[in-house]
A and B are shown apart, each in its own frame.
Chain A
Amino acid sequence: MSDLNQLYSEVIMEHYENSPHEKELKDATHKERGYNPLCGDNITLYLKMNGDIIEDASFTGHGCAISQASTSMMIDLIKGKDKKEALRLVQKFIDMIHKKDVNLDELGDAQVLQGVSDFPARVKCALLAWKTLQEIL
């Protein structure tokens, strides 16, 4: 069960069950829906941009533990960052999920999602929010 321990680690479950970011952002400047038609994961990402800076972000929607936790972790990571830096981190995360060698420290909590790379069927779940953010930016 060691693989599952990685997939459903405490950090992931905490983000899944009690994410502070799961809410609608009333004064959002950007709103984008991310949808995975194969499994039905469905999130809406809200950003409040001030110039190039992501001042605030949140999400709503439903999906599996992986997609929800991943979204929450991403928001932790990108809040307060500028557009360029956020995009760089998104790419880093995508590389990690595709098993490329990257420096994980920069990814904060999101680095625990590295385990997902061993579950090919779940890679899309982990990437949903990050790809949606790429779309917005």
Chain B
Amino acid sequence: MKYVDVEKIKKDFPILNVKPHGKKLIYLDNAATTQKPIEVIKAMDKYYEELNANVYRSPHYLSALSTQAYEEARERVKKFINAKREESIIFTRNTTESINFIAYTWGMKYINEGDEIILTIAEHHSNMLPWQMVAEAKKARLKYVHLDENFRLSMKDFKEKMSDKVKLVAVQHMSNVLGIINPVEEITHIAHKYGAKVLIDGAQSVPHMLIDVQKIGCDFFAFSGHKMLGPMGIGVLYIKEDLLSDVPPFLRGGEMIDEVFEDRATFAPPPLKFEAGTPNVKGACVLVSAIDYIEKIGLSNIHNHEGELLEYGLQKMKELDFVKLYGPKDAKERGGLISFNVEGVHPHDVATILDEEGIAVRSGHHCCLPLMRYLGVPATVRASFYLYNDFDDIDALVEGLKKVRKWFK
């Protein structure tokens, strides 16, 4: 493996020693959640052993430490996605919460009757249901951009659907089913010409490629810590600096106020205005350890490594004449995951037989039912890669699929 030292990396992930059904664990479900390196696992204990106190409130030593660590985490995330200002980084639970945040606040305030919201047919339910809610409440219309014959987002269709009526374009950066990486910079540029705002679902892109929100130019960007070596329960919402005052608070309560009277309140400046209640300080601090680890290996190395795995995987899987692949045929502008079906075998049966070999994959609709309908399949199997996977893992998958074929002739 030329970009990363997989042998060494594997040793950093204790969970890879688990032996499912007595077999070596081949973890290929990274698009669902990734495993955690020992540094990240240790950072969880470290927070509660050395730093724990509530943030912003109390004038004591520990509170100063935890507040400082929390603010450093914000600063770190700001740099990680190259945001302009720290106030633009809001900690949430996950991508889903970040998107709902914008739907309930900015969406409910600025999207009105007759307006249009553009999504893509490949969106995860997390970037679809919140907009259905807004559309229903405000009598707005949802429009879906379709794919071209090679499973890529049709920019032609997108351009045709854009108009002055569109108030928001909400699109995933990378598909968790097809692996396509959408040209979000170009999409943002076009949307802005019509005065529409742009939200990017970065759940699948942030863990695997360098992100520069200023270069993309988007207004909102959402991602989850747990898909990038971090803990569950911490996510990020980025709001572009010029929108920080337009977006109303989401939850209300402690920590987010300026002044409170019996009948009304004024709010603290961002980011505090957006973070009511005691935040997930530990999650934010541990996320920093995950970012440290990723940056130590290097995001471009990780991206190139996954590119190699993808190319190898696509080639090997194409040789299996009983396997049908979904997604663009070439590895270019595709992330490191492969969705497929075994002819005549339901994805759950495939996944169960692979599991017996120690191979962890996901089967199902991947929270993308409209996409499944669009592709004309009830479900698919998905193998998704990360920095600790290697060619042997893919060979194991291919052997596993041959076993599936033996069971279901």
In the complex, chain B residues 35-54 whose Cβ is within 8 Å of any chain A Cβ: none
Q: Decide if B253 is an interface residue (CB 8 Å cutoff).
A: no
Q: Say yes or no: A1 contacts B356, CB within 8 Å.
A: yes
Give the distance to chain A from B365, nearest Cβ to Cβ, in Å. 5
Taken residue by residue from 305 to 347, chain B's Cβ proximity to chain A (1 for < 8 Å, 0 otherwise) reads as 0000000000000000000000000000000000000000111
Q: What residues of B have a CB within 8 angstroms of the CB of A64 in the complex?
A: 346-349
Contact residues of B: prevailing secondary structure: helix
In the complex, chain B residues 327-383 whose Cβ is within 8 Å of any chain A Cβ: 345-349, 352-353, 355-356, 363-365, 372, 378-379
Q: Say yes or no: A65 contacts B356, CB within 8 Å.
A: no
Q: What residues of B have a CB within 8 angstroms of the CB of A63 in the complex?
A: 346, 378
Taken residue by residue from 369 to 400, chain B's Cβ proximity to chain A (1 for < 8 Å, 0 otherwise) reads as 00010000011000000000000000000000
Q: Say yes or no: A39 contacts B352, CB within 8 Å.
A: no
- Known pairs A39-B363, A39-B364, A40-B364; A119 contacts B378 (CB<8 A): no
| Neighbour of A40 across the interface among B349, B356, B365, B407, CB < 8 A | B365
Q: Say yes or no: A122 contacts B348, CB within 8 Å.
A: yes
Q: Say yes or no: A7 contacts B364, CB within 8 Å.
A: no
Q: Say yes or no: B356 contacts A4, CB within 8 Å.
A: yes
Q: What residues of B have a CB within 8 angstroms of the CB of A59 in the complex?
A: none
- Known pairs A64-B346, A65-B346, A119-B352; A42 contacts B407 (CB<8 A): no
Contact residues of A: prevailing secondary structure: mixed
Give the distance to chain A from B342, nearest Cβ to Cβ, in Å. 12
Q: What residues of B have a CB within 8 angstroms of the CB of A42 in the complex?
A: 378
Give the distance to chain B from A7, nearest Cβ to Cβ, in Å. 7
Q: Decide if B194 is an interface residue (CB 8 Å cutoff).
A: no
Give the distance to chain A from B382, nearest Cβ to Cβ, in Å. 13
Q: Say yes or no: B364 contacts A125, CB within 8 Å.
A: no
Give the distance to chain B from A2, nearest Cβ to Cβ, in Å. 10
CA distance A19 to B353 in the complex (A): 22
Q: What residues of A have a CB within 8 angstroms of the CB of B21 in the complex?
A: 3
Q: Say yes or no: B356 contacts A121, CB within 8 Å.
A: no
Q: Decide if B408 is an interface residue (CB 8 Å cutoff).
A: yes
Q: Say yes or no: A65 contacts B349, CB within 8 Å.
A: yes
Q: What residues of A have a CB within 8 angstroms of the CB of B348 in the complex?
A: 39, 41, 64, 66, 121-122, 125
Q: Say yes or no: B356 contacts A38, CB within 8 Å.
A: no
Q: What residues of B have a CB within 8 angstroms of the CB of A4 in the complex?
A: 352-353, 356, 407
Q: Decide if A62 is an interface residue (CB 8 Å cutoff).
A: yes
Q: What residues of A have a CB within 8 angstroms of the CB of B365 in the complex?
A: 39-40
In the complex, chain A residues 20-79 whose Cβ is within 8 Å of any chain B Cβ: 38-42, 62-66
B interface residues, how many (CB within 8 angstroms): 18
- Known pairs A8-B407, A64-B348, A122-B348; A3 contacts B356 (CB<8 A): yes
Residue in B closest to A42 when the chains form the complex, CB atoms: B378
CA distance A125 to B363 in the complex (A): 13
| Neighbour of A65 across the interface among B364, B378, B408, CB < 8 A | B408
Residue in A closest to B353 when the chains form the complex, CB atoms: A4
CA distance A62 to B352 in the complex (A): 17
Q: What residues of A have a CB within 8 angstroms of the CB of B346 in the complex?
A: 62-65
| Neighbour of A7 across the interface among B352, B372, B378, CB < 8 A | B352
CA distance A41 to B347 in the complex (A): 11
CA distance A3 to B353 in the complex (A): 10
Q: What residues of A have a CB within 8 angstroms of the CB of B352 in the complex?
A: 4, 7, 119, 121-122
Q: Say yes or no: B353 contacts A40, CB within 8 Å.
A: no
Q: What residues of A have a CB within 8 angstroms of the CB of B379 in the complex?
A: 39-40
Give the distance to chain B from A61, nearest Cβ to Cβ, in Å. 10
Q: What residues of A have a CB within 8 angstroms of the CB of B349 in the complex?
A: 8, 64-66
CA distance A116 to B378 in the complex (A): 22
Q: What residues of B have a CB within 8 angstroms of the CB of A62 in the complex?
A: 346, 378
Give the distance to chain A from B346, nearest Cβ to Cβ, in Å. 4
Task: List 11 A–B pairs whose Cβ atoms lie within 8 Å, in order of A's numbering.
Answer: A3-B21, A3-B356, A8-B408, A13-B408, A38-B364, A39-B348, A39-B363, A40-B365, A40-B372, A62-B378, A121-B355
Given contacts A63-B378, A64-B347, 16 further A-B contacts (CB under 8 A): A4-B353, A4-B407, A8-B407, A38-B364, A39-B348, A39-B364, A40-B364, A40-B365, A41-B348, A62-B378, A64-B349, A65-B345, A66-B349, A119-B352, A121-B352, A122-B348
